[in-house]
Amino acid sequence: MSDSMAALRLHQVRTDDAPEVLQVDEVARPDPAPHQVLVEIRACGVCASDLHVAQGVTPHGPVLPQTLGHEAAGVIATVGDEVIDWQPGDRVAILMARPCHVCAVCTVGRHNLCPSLSVPGIDADGTMAGFALAEPAALVPIPPDVSFEQAAITTDAVATPYHALKRAGVGEGVTVAIHGLGGLGMHAILLAKLAGATVIGVDIDPVNLDRALDWGADEAVDASDGQPARRIRELTGGGADRALEFVGSARTVDQAVKSVAPGGRTTIVGLTNEQLATVPIARFVSQETELVGSFGSTPQDLGELFDLLEEQRLDLTRSVTATIRLEEVPEALHALETREGHPIRTVVTGLV
């Protein structure tokens, strides 16, 4: 094996005057510390967060030049001397975020809220490379019949909406409106149906609306007239029990809040720096409306999802809409930005 590897690195974030600078570089292959493993990356999903890093709108980092990517799966290449539970050749998915595992929130299982959380690809070198380092606590074994591509996207594109549906309290008999039908929103439909909910998909794009129905949504509501909440209240006789927001804009959050019934709960997943602006406080109070945020997922969420995959209760065969090479990532990010080709998940393969 050579001592170098290919890595997709961000050299310059986008500015008002210049586009971002992203290129495939030949870099040194990292050596695992005694407590780490080196994973040969076989698949890495392309996420809107990669775009946000390139646009320079993430709260921390990047530290340039920085390897992108945080949605990965592969095979363990080498293990550090102190690692006892994993062997070279093990097929693994890598947890998207790196919590400390020892602080007050980590010890109660809320690793996604760890104050020292770091996310590879966002504030440190990521997984769009031939190899990446990981701590054993960040690894989940991949069931034999699950592909690297599906395992990779499970760590974020599936786990993030899974966690959000739990935060939302979506289950049997609940009606949920899902606002924003990109990769995360589409997986929210799949998972909400699996949980026994009645699902209303909401988007401005007719292709996404058709696809939502195809993936099991009971209704699809076109939001392009700016009045989806009214339509949802008509369809449900007063509003959905729950709404999830995957767009990351104050306007869609407002639409989501207005789409729930009195006593309903809206869960925001989309990230934005905009301010909340929605219903008058008196109405919010008198209707006992709930508004919660949902961020990422926990190791427990990921374990549960791999169980669902292993039991073949969750089918992700339609989730990977394209596989590409590292060199094609800039183009894939552009397609994500313009929604060209309506990608659900584009996955980088052939990294080594």
Task: Please report, as ranges, the residues that interact with Zn ion according to CB under 5 A.
Answer: 47, 49, 99-100, 103, 106, 114, 156
Nearer to Zn ion, 47 or 314 (CB): 47
Q: How far is the CB of 310 from Zn ion (least distance, A)?
A: 23
**Separation of alpha carbons 177 and 346, rounded Å:** 25
Nearer to Zn ion, 278 or 298 (CB): 298
Sole residue written with tokens 């699996």: 194
Give me the half-sphere count of Cα atoms (radius 13 Å) on the Cβ side of residue 75: 9
Q: How far is the CB of 11 from Zn ion (least distance, A)?
A: 21
Nearer to Zn ion, 255 or 267 (CB): 267
Sole residue written with tokens 């026994």: 196
Q: How far is the CB of 237 from Zn ion (least distance, A)?
A: 36
Neighbours of 238 (CB within 10 A): 12
Nearer to Zn ion, 156 or 219 (CB): 156
Nearer to Zn ion, 180 or 228 (CB): 180
Question: Which phi-psi region, left, alpha or beta, contains residue 341 (left: φ > 0; alpha: ψ -120 to 50)?
Answer: left
Helix (H) / strand (E) element for 234: namely helix 228-236
DSSP state letters, 290-315: EEEE--S--HHHHHHHHHHHHTT-S-
Q: How far is the CB of 236 from Zn ion (least distance, A)?
A: 31
Q: How far is the CB of 306 from Zn ion (least distance, A)?
A: 18
Sign of CA dihedral 249, 188, 215, 219: negative
Nearer to Zn ion, 156 or 203 (CB): 156
Q: How far is the CB of 169 from Zn ion (least distance, A)?
A: 24
Helix (H) / strand (E) element for 334: namely helix 329-338
Q: How far is the CB of 100 from Zn ion (least distance, A)?
A: 4
* Structure-block tokens of residue 93: 């998915």
| Burial grade of 64 (CB within 10 A; 0-12, 13-18, 19 or more) | exposed
Q: How far is the CB of 119 from Zn ion (least distance, A)?
A: 8
Give the pairing type, strands 131-134 and 139-141. unpaired
**Separation of alpha carbons 97 and 348, rounded Å:** 19
Q: How far is the CB of 215 from Zn ion (least distance, A)?
A: 20
Cis link prior to 65 (omega < 30° from 0)? yes
Nearer to Zn ion, 149 or 219 (CB): 149
Under 8 Å between Cβ of 237 and 262: no
Nearer to Zn ion, 108 or 282 (CB): 108
Helix (H) / strand (E) element for 176: namely strand 175-179
- How far does Cα 153 stand from its chain's mean position? 8
Nearer to Zn ion, 74 or 120 (CB): 120
